[in-house]
Amino acid sequence: MTLWVGFTLIAALFQTWRTALQQRLRQDLSVNAASFVRFFYGVPVGLLLLLLARAISGVPLAPVNQRFLLNCLAGGAFQIVGTSLLIMAFGFRSFAVGSAYAKTEGLQTAILGWLLLHETLRPMAWAGIGVGVIGVLTLSLAGRGMQPRELLRATVQPAALCGLGTGLCFAFTSVFVKQADVALRGGHPILQAIEVLVVTNAMQTLMQGGWMALREPAQIAASLRLWRRAAWVGAMSAVGSGAWFAAFALAPVGLVRSLGQMEMPLILLFSHFYLKERLQPTDAFGLALVSAGVVLVLLGAHG
């Protein structure tokens, strides 16, 4: 098992954890504010991680340049837009379809990585990505009785279009983050990844914070008032995103995002063993497909 696999699994775990904490904040904060705290409180944690990585590695920080800053800006903006599209998908009646199509992010990232970054994957890895997407769709739509024809017809619905847009925006985020890391080549890859994280989070804080200052100024005060709970969201986000960015620095973005689909089985297993929720046959089938897809991706990566 190579280092990128470990970072990806850590990222999936902390992303699931952060989402759960963020959902609790939605009781007291608006959608934008709940997203804002992820970046605002993530900056100091990211800086702490950067100083720790710098001390351990003994390697100086790579000097920033225009290409690096532009890629951080673009990646951060796409992540904000993708989050907004996902929330819009939940606002439609077919929110399950929207969230399911958002999970095509792994496939879309692999395609963009091939087109824009010239990252080549073995046929077995592509097969694993396809199997994983089918498994994720099965898990997302489990128990809804949707036949393939119905799912195809639902593709043109607003929720599905928002979901596909979400996956595309997050795929572009992965590509721009990778490009930002490439712009810093010459230093320690993990240190560079955390440097990308800190700069991107700072830019996202300014972008979304500026929007809220114009549209929802009261929510900024609420975000500060709830700092004890919001800080945990920022901490989980910083660690999770740092792990994602480190994995991007070490492996093709398509492989990383496809392996990251393990968050779906993690959520499912958490609900079964911790919340004592009963697994449905379709859940078990989807879990098996995602697991098979992950095995194929790993075999394709190291075959």
Residue 48 clears pLDDT 80, i.e. is over it: yes
Secondary structure of 21-67 as H, E, C letters: HHHHHCCCCCHHHHHHHHHHCHHHHHHHHHHHHHHHHCCCCCCCCHH
Cβ neighbours around 303 below 10 Å, total: 10
- Look at 66-75, 114-123, 202-211, 289-298 and tell me which has the smallest mean pLDDT: 289-298
Q: What pLDDT does 44 receive?
A: 96
Q: Which pLDDT band holds residue 168 (cuts at 50, 70, 90)?
A: very high
Q: What is the mean pLDDT of the chain?
A: 83
Residue 263 clears pLDDT 80, i.e. is over it: no
Using the structure block, give the residue that is written with the tokens 């721009």: 176
> To 5 degrees, how large is the angle CA 201–CA 203–CA 206?
110
Q: What pLDDT does 129 receive?
A: 86
Q: What is the pLDDT of residues 184-241, one digit of tens each?
A: 877 788 999 999 999 999 999 999 999 999 999 999 999 999 999 999 999 999 999 9
Residue 37 clears pLDDT 60, i.e. is over it: yes
Q: How far is CA 210 from CA 33, 84, 155, 190, 219, in A?
A: 12, 16, 34, 30, 12
Of 6, 60, 82, 8, the C-alpha closest to 248 is 8
Of 144, 147, 242, 262, the C-alpha closest to 195 is 242
Alpha-carbon distance of 181 to 254, in angstroms, equals: 16
Q: What pLDDT does 57 receive?
A: 86
Of 297, 299, 302, the C-alpha closest to 131 is 297
Q: What pLDDT does 241 receive?
A: 92
Alpha-carbon distance of 247 to 2, in angstroms, equals: 10
Q: Which pLDDT band holds residue 62 (cuts at 50, 70, 90)?
A: confident
The helix/strand/coil state of 208 is: helix
Residue 255 clears pLDDT 90, i.e. is over it: no
Average pLDDT of span 52-81: 92
Q: What is the pLDDT of residues 265-278, one digit of tens each?
A: 766 666 666 556 66
Q: What percent of the chain has pLDDT over 90?
A: 38
Q: What is the pLDDT of residues 101-110, one digit of tens each?
A: 777 888 889 8
Q: What percent of the chain has pLDDT over 70?
A: 80
Q: What pLDDT does 96 receive?
A: 55
